[in-house]
Amino acid sequence: MCVNTTSKGDRLISSAKRLRFPDGFLWGAASSHYQVEGLPAESRSRLSDWSNWTRAGGKIADGSDADRACEFYSRFAQDIEIVEALNLNSYRTSFNWPALLPDRPGRDRKLDPEVVDYYKRLLFTLKEKGIKTFLTLFHFCLPTWLAEEGGWTEPVSADEFGFFAELVAREFGDLVDYWVTINEPMAYAYQSFVSGQWPPGKSKSYECAFLTIRNMLVGHARAYGAIKEWADSEDRRPVSFTNHWRPFVAENALNPLDHMVRFFRDSIFNHIFPKSIDSGGMVLPRVVSRIGDLGRLEGEIPGLLGSMDYLAVNYYTREISRFVPGWPVDPFGAKSEKSYLETNSLGWEIFPEGLYRVLTEDIAPYLKNRAVFITENGYASNFSPDLSEGDWSIEDAKRCQYLQSHLVAIHRAIEAGVNVKGYLHWSLTDNFEWAEGLSPRFGLVRVAYPTQERTFRKSAELYARVAADNSIEENATWE
C-alpha cells in the first residue's frame, strides 16, 4: 500500500496532517468507450474513423490498436466491482456514437438495439450500486460515413450530433447524472488539423481547425437543448463539456515573441469554448479573426448562450510556448521541446501548481456560481502491450506522488473558495491512448493485455484510502 507502509516498493517516508474534503465530495474514475470497450461490432465493421485510422499503418506509435482494448464491453461487471472496491462513488465513460447510430441519414433511423442493451445493462448496474454517472456524447470518434463527408468541418456534423443527443437522451436520460456533450474540443481540433496526429491527419490546416470549433459549438448547443428538452422542469440534470485546461508559459521570459505565442495559444486553446458559450456566439481573439476569412465564423449561435451548467476541468500539465521564425509570421508558434520539471512517460511536466492556478485564476471568468468537477487528471508510465506475467508497474511511486500532490492542489483551491465538487481520476484501468497506442499506462489498475488480467497498483490502494476517508495527507513523499 502506498500509505503508511514499510513493505518493499513504494514506501511513504513522510506525512503530515490530513486535509478533509467537503461532505458529499465525488470520488471517481474516468474512461472513454473506444479506449476500453473492444466492441466486436465496431472492430469487425470499422464503424468509426478511429477504428479505420488504426488500420492505416504507421499511425499508432507502438503499432497497437483498440480492437480488444480492455474488453470492457464483456467485462464491465468486473470493472464496476473494481470501482466499488476502490470506494469510489462516481464513474465517467462515453457513449459509442458510431456503434449506436452507424447508418447514414434515412427514414426511421434509430439506435442499434444490441448496443442500447449493453449500455442499459452498464448504466443499470452503476445505478443499482449508487455510483453517479458522467456520460460523454463525443469522445473523439466519428461514424465512418460522417468522417468521410468531412466530419466536424461540415455543418452536417452538428445536425447529426444534435439528432444523436436527442435519441440518447430519450433512451438513457433517467440513468445519467451528469452529461458531457463534447470531450476536449480544442484538443480534438488541434490534434486532427494542426499536429495531424489524429484522423483525418491534416497538418497546420487552421481553417479546418476553426471550422471544426464553430461546428462543435453549434453541435454542443443543439445537444444541450436536446437533453434539456427531454428532461422535465424538476429533472434538469447538469450538462456541460470538458475543457482541457493547460497553463501556457513563454520559453524565454525575456522574449516578447514567445509571450505573443503564449498569449494566442492560451486564448485559443483554453478560452474559445467557454468564452463563446458565455457570449452566445463564437468569439475569436481579434488578431485571429483577421487571418484570412476566419472572421466569418464569428457570430451568434442559437441555443449556445449559457449552455454550461458546471465546469468540467481536464488537467494534466503545462505547456511551454516558443515563437518560430518564418514568413508569413505564425502567431501560434509551437510547443517547446524543452522541459524544466520532472516529466511522465509522454514528456508531460508534472506541475500540480498549474492545477491550482487553473482553478483559482484561469476559470474565474466562467465560474458564475457554477460547480467545478475535475473530470480527468492522471499520470502516464510506459510499458509494452505485450507484457503479462510479473510485477511490472505495480510499485508506482511516481503516480502516487502525482495523485497526492494534485489532490492537495485541489484542496487548496477549495479553501480559496472554489466550489470543486468532485474528482475523477484518469483512468480506472490502462487503456488505448490514441496515437500513442496501448503502451502509455494511466490506470490505477494494470491491464495485462494478452490475458486481460486486472491488478491493483499501489496508487489504487492510495486512492481507495483517500476516497474512504474523504481526505489526503498534506505532505507525503514516496520512494
| DSSP strand pairing (440-441 vs 381-382) | antiparallel
Closest to 447 (Cα-Cα) out of 394, 375, 407, 398 = 394
List, for residues 260-281, the tens digit of each pLDDT value. 999 999 999 999 999 999 999 9
Does the pLDDT of residue 241 top 80, yes or no? yes
Of residues 106 and 59, more confidently modeled: 59
For residue 116, give the C-alpha cell. Answer: 442500447
Range in 151-155, 336-340, 423-427, 451-455 the model is least confident about: 336-340
For residue 87, give the C-alpha cell. Answer: 470506494
Closest to 92 (Cα-Cα) out of 427, 420, 316, 317 = 427
Range in 107-111, 313-317, 378-382 the model is least confident about: 107-111
User: Distance between CA 132 and CA 129 in Å, rounded?
Assistant: 9
What's the pLDDT score for residue 7? 38
For helices 256-269 and 272-279, angle between their N-to-C axes, nearest 10 degrees: 50
Does the pLDDT of residue 5 top 50, yes or no? no
User: Distance between CA 43 and CA 252 in Å, rounded?
Assistant: 46
What's the pLDDT score for residue 116? 98
Q: Mean of the pLDDT values across residues 203-227? A: 96
What's the pLDDT score for residue 12? 56
Please check whether residue 317 is in contact with residue 247, taking contact to mean a CB–CB distance below 8 angstroms. Answer: no
pLDDT band (50, 70, 90) for residue 13: low
3-state secondary structure of 471: strand
What's the pLDDT score for residue 317? 98
Does the pLDDT of residue 388 top 70, yes or no? yes
Does the pLDDT of residue 287 top 90, yes or no? no
User: Distance between CA 37 and CA 166 in Å, rounded?
Assistant: 23
Quick check: bond before 279 cis, omega within 30? no
Q: Mean of the pLDDT values across residues 71-88? A: 98
List, for residues 370-385, the tens digit of each pLDDT value. 999 999 999 999 999 9
Does the pLDDT of residue 3 top 60, yes or no? no
Closest to 261 (Cα-Cα) out of 211, 347, 202, 320 = 320
What's the pLDDT score for residue 332? 86
> Cβ-count burial of 299 within 10 angstroms (0-12 exposed, 13-18 middle, 19+ buried)?
exposed
The C-alpha cell 491550482 sits at 356
For residue 76, give the C-alpha cell. Answer: 464491465
What's the pLDDT score for residue 477? 73
What's the pLDDT score for residue 232? 64
Does the pLDDT of residue 213 top 80, yes or no? yes
Does the pLDDT of residue 234 top 90, yes or no? no
List, for residues 223-232, the tens digit of each pLDDT value. 999 999 987 6
Does the pLDDT of residue 235 top 80, yes or no? no
**pTM for the full model?**
0.95
What's the pLDDT score for residue 309? 98
What's the pLDDT score for residue 478? 63
pLDDT band (50, 70, 90) for residue 17: confident
What's the pLDDT score for residue 227? 96
Of residues 232 and 199, more confidently modeled: 199
pLDDT band (50, 70, 90) for residue 6: very low
List, for residues 353-364, the tens digit of each pLDDT value. 999 999 999 999
What's the pLDDT score for residue 15? 56
What's the pLDDT score for residue 475? 82
What's the pLDDT score for residue 106? 85
Of residues 19 and 328, more confidently modeled: 19
